[in-house]
Amino acid sequence: MKIINKTLSSQVKEIILEMINNLDFMSKLPSEQKLASKLGVSRNTVREALKALENEGLIISRHGVGTFVTRYNGKENIRYNIATLDSTTKIITDHGYVPGTKSTYYDVRMASDNMSKILGSDTPIKILYIERVRTANLNPIIFVEDYIPYKDGMLEEYSNKKDDSLFSFISNYNTISFSNCSIHAVLSNERLMEKLELDEPKALLLLQQIHYSSRGIPVFYSDSYFITEKLEFNLIRRYVE
């Protein structure tokens, strides 16, 4: 297949993804040069597309060896490389689903002493508290609670942009560079069952994350409860001699 006119790496990514869907686990992909020749694009464009697929945990590249498929076929789950920090909106969109939000609640409150310390303050601070259920094609997949140090006008601005990506909203106040993530397996209680529209208790994956700026200053904290039947995490662990 040749790509006509100006080509974006996202278009190349979609074509390579179709190729991956027809390959077995640990199948080797053609080289960058062969893919570039086949698709009629530059190697840089192919490299960008492959990097995006590797960030999603769908392939792994080893210098001098090749690029291999790390995706198991037959699953419709959203599959995400947990080592990559992306907004939930982007993760859902990149997998071909329509992102959405329901059951949104938010207010301004004083943080607890513990939460204030997590956010870098020795004294209680005012925060914007947000809770949301994120959906993919209208199906609940994540319940999120966010705790953001409050700045003047933040409540009014969020009320106007609550349907946008939270990362995009927060970037107006501070840049998120990395996060410290703690992962736990939890059983859904009555509150989580109601939020995620579960008929019975289920095991959930809880990600507790402190998001930092490039200077190491806490930007916000989040508790995210994932339905693992609908979203699975992937991490490529490399052996270091």
Angle between the 9-21 and 43-55 helix axes, to the nearest 10 degrees? Answer: 60
pLDDT at 163: 82
Residue ranges per domain, the chain? 9-69, 78-234
What stretches in the chain show pLDDT beneath 70? Answer: 1-7, 71-84, 232, 234-241
Count other Cβ atoms within 10 Å, centred on residue 106: 17
pLDDT at 70: 74
CB 46 within 8 A of CB 38: no
pLDDT at 90: 80
pLDDT at 54: 84
pLDDT at 33: 93
pLDDT at 36: 94
Strand order from edge to edge, sheet including 126-136:
99-110, 126-136, 139-149, 218-227, 203-212, 178-187
- Tokens for 94? 């990149």
Written out in words, the top-level CATH class of the domain with range 78-234 is: alpha beta
CB 180 within 8 A of CB 212: yes
pLDDT at 120: 95
CB 39 within 8 A of CB 2: yes
pLDDT at 4: 46
Rounded-to-integer distance, Cα 68 and Cα 71, Å: 9
**CATH architecture type of domain 9-69:** Orthogonal Bundle (1.10)
